[in-house]
């Protein structure tokens, strides 16, 4: 069976949980508390020298890291990855964009405010500006379709919804982007996120 | 024919060039100077609202952004993507890691020093520390194999070599990681990089 090492407060970890559940892949969840440095113990570092979650141990015992790489692996051959070659490429475009231009701002602002107790006005202005730009880019990407790639849910939505749905915890008011609010609800419904 | 919009000083853009050439995919190169804001003109923003290169226009006229998404699309079905499912997943692990944990430090330090003229001692210490950590992680990943995924060149090497081979321009002395130096030479030879 698949083993998932994750911290439930981490959107990156929840991506793996949602993908496994959507695809009815059985898994064991091993909760690790990042704030208590449980990902930095010698035991865990032996599994993942990067000291990061999520990490999965596949049924054959081999390890895999990086949230988006994990969900791509779990979803191979499923409807969560578009069959059309261009649509699949657009899905990867969103996945790489998420790690470079969305997560480092939207997720980091939320972590600093909600988990490190930093007041909003003490956040680096770069986090706030680039986080807003990312949410605007997301809204632009939803102008013509219900989901990020066409009209059915894909890993692009799984990945982007993870920190967008909790963006308010980082001080971002999603009311400025009603299209994004509607999309979050649509993705949560499609994935059965409660 | 494929059109590639790119700046030749950008490792992200060179990934696309190397992949196309390795796979003998014909392309037109359209040089844009990032430093002269040629990626911020109305004409280019109409093609890519993110104002970033590389951007490719596929033979059917559709656009695709994000360097790693582009090379994955171009290399579909080729030897640059491992046929084995786990090896392919490890390749994606490296690709996502590159954009999150290597490029933002190794490439950014190089850009600030080599193109903005910042002296090494004025670089943010986070750039230096995390850049070194990324190069160490790369060395660790090459402990048992000639390439990042097994013993033949894959997109993981294409992606990671782009900024590693010019890391010295950001003040990183690769001599500290001889395994990385040997790997750079090996990847350059495999890809025909001169």
pLDDT by residue for chain A (194 residues), tens only, comes to: 999 999 999 999 999 999 999 999 999 999 999 999 999 999 999 999 889 999 999 999 999 999 999 999 999 999 999 999 999 999 999 999 999 999 999 999 999 999 999 999 999 999 999 999 999 999 999 999 999 998 999 999 999 999 999 999 999 999 999 999 999 999 999 999 98
Same structural domain, A16 and A109? no
Helix or strand run (H / E) with residue A136: helix A125-141
**Token duo for residue A140:** 């632009």
Chain A residue numbers with beta carbons less than 8 Å from the beta carbon of B66 are: 92-93, 96-97, 100
Residue B194 has pLDDT above 90, yes or no: no
For residue A170, the domain's CATH number is 1.20.1050.10
Contacts of A92 (CB under 8 A, 6+ apart): B66, B68, B69, B72, B73
Same structural domain, A91 and A31? no
Same structural domain, A70 and A108? no
Same structural domain, A104 and A186? yes
- Find the domain containing A135 and state its range: 85-191
Chain A residue numbers with beta carbons less than 8 Å from the beta carbon of B70 are: 89
Specify the number of domains making up chain B.
Answer: 2
Burial of A46 (0-12, 13-18, 19+ CB in 10 A): exposed
Same structural domain, A90 and A148? yes
Boundary-marking domain end, from B23, B47, B74: B74
For residue A40, the domain's CATH number is 3.40.30.10
Which tens digits make up the pLDDT trace of B44-83?
A: 999 998 899 999 999 999 999 999 999 999 999 999 999 9
Same structural domain, A23 and A69? yes
**Residue B19 belongs to a domain:** yes
**Residue A79 belongs to a domain:** no
Nearest chain A residue (CA) to B64: A90
Residue B36: how many other CB atoms lie within 10 Å: 10
* pTM of full prediction above 0.90: yes
Same structural domain, B48 and B121? no
Helix or strand run (H / E) with residue A74: helix A67-74
Same structural domain, B47 and B99? no
Same structural domain, B137 and B182? yes
pLDDT cut 90: percent of chain B above it:
97
Return d(Cα B11, Cα B9) in angstroms, integer.
Answer: 7
Chain B residue numbers with beta carbons less than 8 Å from the beta carbon of A66 are: 92-93, 96-97, 100
Which tens digits make up the pLDDT trace of B83-110?
A: 999 999 999 999 999 999 999 999 999 9
Same structural domain, B101 and B182? yes
Return d(Cα B15, Cα B20) in angstroms, integer.
Answer: 9
Boundary-marking domain end, from B74, B108, B133: B74
**Residue A80 belongs to a domain:** no
**Nearest CA to CA, how far is A6 from chain B (Å)?**
17
Contacts of A19 (CB under 8 A, 6+ apart): A25, A70, A71, A74, A75, A80, A155, A158
Contact A34, A125 (CB under 8 A): no
A78-113 core/surface letters (b: 16 or more CB in 10 A; e: else): eebbbeeeeebbbbbbbbbbbbbbbbbbbbbbbbbb
Boundary-marking domain end, from B54, B74, B94: B74
Which tens digits make up the pLDDT trace of B158-173?
A: 999 999 999 999 999 9
Is B92 in contact with A100 (Cβ distance < 8 A)? no
**Residue B183 belongs to a domain:** yes
Same structural domain, B102 and B183? yes
Is B85 in contact with A73 (Cβ distance < 8 A)? yes
Question: Residues of B at the A interface (Cβ-Cβ below 8 Å)?
Answer: 49-50, 58, 60, 62, 64-70, 72-73, 76, 85-86, 88-90, 92-93, 95-97, 99-101, 103-104, 137, 140
What are the residues facing A182 on neighbouring strands? none
Nearest chain A residue (CA) to B51: A137
Using alpha carbons, select from A180, A137, A164 the residue that is nearest to residue B45. A137
Residue B122: how many other CB atoms lie within 10 Å: 9
Chain A residue numbers with beta carbons less than 8 Å from the beta carbon of B95 are: 69, 96
Is B93 in contact with A69 (Cβ distance < 8 A)? yes
Which tens digits make up the pLDDT trace of B6-34?
A: 999 999 999 999 999 999 999 999 999 99
Same structural domain, B26 and B109? no
**Residue A19 belongs to a domain:** yes
**Residue B79 belongs to a domain:** no
Is B99 in contact with A95 (Cβ distance < 8 A)? no
- Taking the CA atoms of residue B75, residue B80, residue B83 and residue B85 in that order, the dihedral angle to the nearest 10 degrees is -90
**Residue B49 belongs to a domain:** yes
**Residue A119 belongs to a domain:** yes
Residue B123 has pLDDT above 90, yes or no: yes
């Amino acid at each position: 069976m698949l083993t998932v090492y994750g911290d439930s407060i981490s959107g990156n970890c929840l991506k793996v949980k949602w993908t496994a559940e959507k695809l009815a892949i059985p898994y064991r969840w091993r909760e690790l508390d990042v704030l208590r440095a449980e990902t930095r113990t010698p035991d865990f570092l032996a599994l993942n020298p990067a000291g990061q979650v999520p990490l999965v141990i596949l049924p054959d015992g081999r390890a895999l890291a990086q949230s988006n790489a994990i969900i791509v692996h779990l979803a191979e051959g499923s409807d969560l990855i578009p069959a059309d070659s261009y649509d699949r490429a657009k899905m990867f475009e969103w996945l790489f964009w998420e790690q470079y231009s969305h997560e480092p701002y939207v997720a980091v602002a939320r972590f600093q405010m909600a988990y490190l107790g930093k007041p909003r006005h003490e956040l680096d202005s770069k986090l706030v500006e680039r986080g807003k730009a990312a949410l605007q880019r997301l809204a632009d990407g939803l102008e013509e379709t219900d989901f990020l790639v066409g009209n059915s849910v894909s890993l692009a939505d799984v990945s982007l919804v993870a920190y967008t749905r909790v963006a308010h915890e980082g001080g971002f008011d999603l009311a400025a982007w009603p299209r994004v609010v509607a999309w979050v609800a649509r993705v949560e419904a499609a994935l059965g996120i409660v």
